[in-house]
Chain A
Amino acid sequence: MTDFRFLHAADIHLDSPLHGLSRYEGLPVDEIRRATRSAFDNLIQRAIAEAVDFVIISGDLFDGSWRDMGTGLYFSHAMGRLGQAGIPAFILSGNHDAASVITRTVPWPPNVRQFGSRRAETHLLPDLAVAIHGQGFSTPVVSENLVLGYPAPEPHAFNIGMLHTALAGRPGHASYAPCSIDDLRAKGYDYWALGHVHEFEIACSDPYAVFPGNIQGRTIRETGAKGAVLVSVSDRAVTAAERIDLDVIRWVRAEIDCSGASADVTQLMRSVLTRVQEDNGSGLPLIVRLSLVGSTPAAGALNDRAAGLRDDARAIATSISPDLHVEKVMVLATEPPSATYSIGDDLSQLIGEASSDPGLAQTLAADLEKFMLAVQTHLGLPDEGELRRSAVDGDWSAVLRTAAIALRSRLTGEG
Chain B
Amino acid sequence: MRFSSLTLERYGRFENQQLNFHAGLPDLHVIYGGNEAGKTTSLAAVSDLLFGFPQRSPYNFLFDYTLLRVGAVLEDDGRVLECRRKKGTSGTLLDAEDAAIDEAPLLAMLKGQKRETFGLLFSLDQEALRSGGMAMVEARNDLGRTLFAAGSGLTGISDELRRLEGEADAIWGPQAAARRSFTQAQRELAEKTKIVRDVALKPKTWSDAKAARDRAATALDRARDQRDRVQVELRVAERIRRVAPLVRRRGEQLEELQPLEHVLDIGKAREDSAEAVILDADNAQRAKAAAEQLLRDAGERKAKIPADPAVLAYADEIDDLVSESGAGEKAARDVVRLEAEHAAAEKAINELRTEAGQNANAVPTRAVATRLRDLARKHGETAAGKSQIEENRAELEERRQRARAKLDAAGIDEVAEALVDAVDAARTLGADADARCEAARRAAEVAKGTALSALDRLTPWIGTIEELRRLPKVAAVEIEGVRDELSELAAEIRREEEKVQRSRNESAGVSLEIEGIVTGSAVSPEEIASAQEERTTRWTPIREHVLSGAPLSSPANIVAEFEASVARVDERMERRFALADASSRLSLLEQTRASHELQGAQAGVGAADATRRREALLDRWSKRLASSGLPTLEPVRFNAWQADREVAEGAQLEHGRLATEVDAVAVRRDVARAALSAALGNPRTADTSALAPLLAIAERKRRAGEVAAQQRRLAQAELDQVERDSAALDRRVQRINATAADNDAAWTAALAEAGLQLDVLTCGAVLDLIEELRGATINQAQLRRRIDGIKRDAHDHASRVDAVAERLDLLPSDPAARLRMLRERLAEARSAAKVIETLELEEDRRSKEIDEADAKLRAAEEALAPIMRDTLAMDRAALSAAIERSRARRSLFEGLAETERRIVADGDGLALDDLVAAASTADTDELSRQVSSLNSKLTQLNAEVDEAAATHGDARRMFANLEVGGTSAADAAADAEQARSELEVLAEHYILKRAQAITLKWTIEQYRERHQDPLLLRAGELFSTLTVGRYATLRVDSEGTTPRLLGMRDDGRTLVEVQYMSDGTADQLFLALRLAALEQSVKSGVNLPFLADDLFVNFDDERAEAGFNVLADIARSTQVMFFTHHPHLVAIARSVVGAGVHSECSLT
- List chain A positions with a Cβ less than 8 A from chain B: 15-23, 29, 32-34, 37, 66-74, 77, 101-102, 104-106, 303-304, 306-307, 310, 327-328, 343-344, 346-347, 350-351, 353-355, 357, 360, 363-364, 367-368, 370-371, 374-375, 378-379, 382, 386-388, 391, 399-400, 402-404, 406-407, 410-411, 415
CB of B626 closer than 8 Å to a CB of A: no
B982, A22: Cβ atoms under 8 Å?
A: yes
B999, A351: Cβ atoms under 8 Å?
A: yes
Q: Beyond the given A71-B969, A347-B1007, could you list 8 further A-B residue pairs with CB under 8 A, ordered by the A residue number?
A: A23-B982, A37-B967, A68-B196, A347-B152, A386-B984, A403-B996, A411-B154, A411-B157
B1003, A354: Cβ atoms under 8 Å?
A: yes
Majority SS of interface residues in chain A? helix
Are A346 and B1007 also in contact (CB < 8 A) when A19-B977, A37-B970 are?
yes
A350, B994: Cβ atoms under 8 Å?
A: no
Question: Can you give 30 A-B contacts (C-beta < 8 A)?
Answer: A15-B970, A17-B973, A17-B977, A18-B977, A22-B185, A23-B978, A70-B964, A70-B967, A73-B963, A306-B989, A307-B989, A347-B154, A350-B1006, A350-B1007, A364-B994, A364-B995, A368-B991, A368-B994, A371-B991, A375-B983, A378-B983, A382-B984, A388-B991, A399-B992, A403-B996, A407-B996, A410-B164, A411-B154, A411-B157, A415-B156
Which residues of A sit under 8 angstroms from B987, Cβ to Cβ?
A: 371, 375, 379, 382, 388
Which residues of A sit under 8 angstroms from B999, Cβ to Cβ?
A: 351, 354-355, 360, 400, 403-404, 407
A406, B985: Cβ atoms under 8 Å?
A: no
B994, A73: Cβ atoms under 8 Å?
A: no
Cβ distance B213 to chain A, nearest Cβ, rounded Å: 13
Which residues of A sit under 8 angstroms from B979, Cβ to Cβ?
A: 22-23
Which of B1029-1085 touch A at CB < 8 Å? none
CA distance in complex: A72, B966 (Å): 11
A410, B203: Cβ atoms under 8 Å?
A: no
CB < 8 Å: which of B970, B973, B992, B1007 contacts A387?
A: B992
Q: Can you name the residue of chain A whose Cβ is closest to the Cβ of B189?
A: A378
Q: Can you name the residue of chain A whose Cβ is closest to the Cβ of B989?
A: A307
CA distance in complex: A259, B992 (Å): 23
CB of B186 closer than 8 Å to a CB of A: yes
Which residues of A sit under 8 angstroms from B988, Cβ to Cβ?
A: 306, 386-388
Which residues of B sit under 8 angstroms from A388, Cβ to Cβ?
A: 984, 987-988, 991
Q: Can you name the residue of chain B whose Cβ is closest to the Cβ of A378?
A: B983
Q: Can you name the residue of chain A whose Cβ is closest to the Cβ of B185?
A: A22
Which residues of B sit under 8 angstroms from A364, Cβ to Cβ?
A: 994-995, 998
A410, B200: Cβ atoms under 8 Å?
A: no
Are A71 and B970 also in contact (CB < 8 A) when A23-B975, A387-B988, A399-B991 are?
yes
Which residues of B sit under 8 angstroms from A363, Cβ to Cβ?
A: 998, 1002
B1003, A351: Cβ atoms under 8 Å?
A: yes
B969, A68: Cβ atoms under 8 Å?
A: yes
Cβ distance B158 to chain A, nearest Cβ, rounded Å: 10
Which residues of B sit under 8 angstroms from A307, Cβ to Cβ?
A: 985, 989
B970, A22: Cβ atoms under 8 Å?
A: no
Which residues of A sit under 8 angstroms from B174, Cβ to Cβ?
A: 370
Which residues of B sit under 8 angstroms from A67, Cβ to Cβ?
A: 200, 202-203
Which residues of A sit under 8 angstroms from B152, Cβ to Cβ?
A: 344, 347
A303, B967: Cβ atoms under 8 Å?
A: no
CA distance in complex: A344, B1007 (Å): 11
CB of B264 closer than 8 Å to a CB of A: no
Most chain B Cβ neighbours within 10 Å, of A106, A328, A347: A347
Majority SS of interface residues in chain B? helix
CA distance in complex: A375, B989 (Å): 13
B970, A391: Cβ atoms under 8 Å?
A: no
Which residues of B sit under 8 angstroms from A402, Cβ to Cβ?
A: 992, 995
CA distance in complex: A363, B357 (Å): 173
A344, B996: Cβ atoms under 8 Å?
A: no
CA distance in complex: A238, B200 (Å): 43
Cβ distance A383 to chain B, nearest Cβ, rounded Å: 9
CA distance in complex: A106, B963 (Å): 11
CB < 8 Å: which of A20, A34, A343 contacts B981?
A: A20
Which residues of A sit under 8 angstroms from B196, Cβ to Cβ?
A: 68
CB of B369 closer than 8 Å to a CB of A: no
Which of B119-163 touch A at CB < 8 Å? 152-154, 156-157, 159-160
Cβ distance A238 to chain B, nearest Cβ, rounded Å: 35
Cβ distance A93 to chain B, nearest Cβ, rounded Å: 15
B981, A22: Cβ atoms under 8 Å?
A: yes
CA distance in complex: A18, B996 (Å): 32
CA distance in complex: A316, B921 (Å): 99
Cβ distance A153 to chain B, nearest Cβ, rounded Å: 37
B969, A354: Cβ atoms under 8 Å?
A: no
Cβ distance B163 to chain A, nearest Cβ, rounded Å: 8
CB of B335 closer than 8 Å to a CB of A: no
Which residues of A sit under 8 angstroms from B189, Cβ to Cβ?
A: 378
CA distance in complex: A367, B1000 (Å): 14
Which residues of B sit under 8 angstroms from A66, Cβ to Cβ?
A: 973
Which residues of B sit under 8 angstroms from A346, Cβ to Cβ?
A: 1007, 1010
Which residues of A sit under 8 angstroms from B186, Cβ to Cβ?
A: 374, 378
Q: Could you mark each residue 945-971 of chain B with 1 if its beta carbon is under 8 Å from any beta carbon of chain A, else 0?
A: 000000000000000001111111111
Q: Can you name the residue of chain B whose Cβ is closest to the Cβ of A363?
A: B998
CA distance in complex: A379, B1000 (Å): 29
Cβ distance B171 to chain A, nearest Cβ, rounded Å: 9
Are A69 and B205 also in contact (CB < 8 A) when A306-B989, A351-B999, A407-B999 are?
yes
CB of B315 closer than 8 Å to a CB of A: no
Cβ distance B1033 to chain A, nearest Cβ, rounded Å: 25
B998, A310: Cβ atoms under 8 Å?
A: no
Cβ distance A24 to chain B, nearest Cβ, rounded Å: 9
B160, A371: Cβ atoms under 8 Å?
A: no
CA distance in complex: A67, B979 (Å): 21
Which residues of A sit under 8 angstroms from B1000, Cβ to Cβ?
A: 351, 407, 411
A21, B978: Cβ atoms under 8 Å?
A: yes
A102, B977: Cβ atoms under 8 Å?
A: no
Most chain A Cβ neighbours within 10 Å, of B174, B207, B966: B966
B1003, A70: Cβ atoms under 8 Å?
A: no
CB of B206 closer than 8 Å to a CB of A: yes
A15, B973: Cβ atoms under 8 Å?
A: yes
Which residues of A sit under 8 angstroms from B975, Cβ to Cβ?
A: 23, 29, 33
A69, B201: Cβ atoms under 8 Å?
A: yes
CA distance in complex: A37, B969 (Å): 13
CA distance in complex: A386, B200 (Å): 33
A403, B992: Cβ atoms under 8 Å?
A: yes
CB of B974 closer than 8 Å to a CB of A: yes
Q: Can you name the residue of chain A whose Cβ is closest to the Cβ of B1010?
A: A346
Which residues of A sit under 8 angstroms from B1003, Cβ to Cβ?
A: 347, 350-351, 354
Q: Can you name the residue of chain B whose Cβ is closest to the Cβ of A383?
A: B984
CA distance in complex: A378, B970 (Å): 19
CB of B980 closer than 8 Å to a CB of A: yes
CA distance in complex: A72, B965 (Å): 8
A33, B989: Cβ atoms under 8 Å?
A: no
CA distance in complex: A74, B206 (Å): 13
CB of B562 closer than 8 Å to a CB of A: no
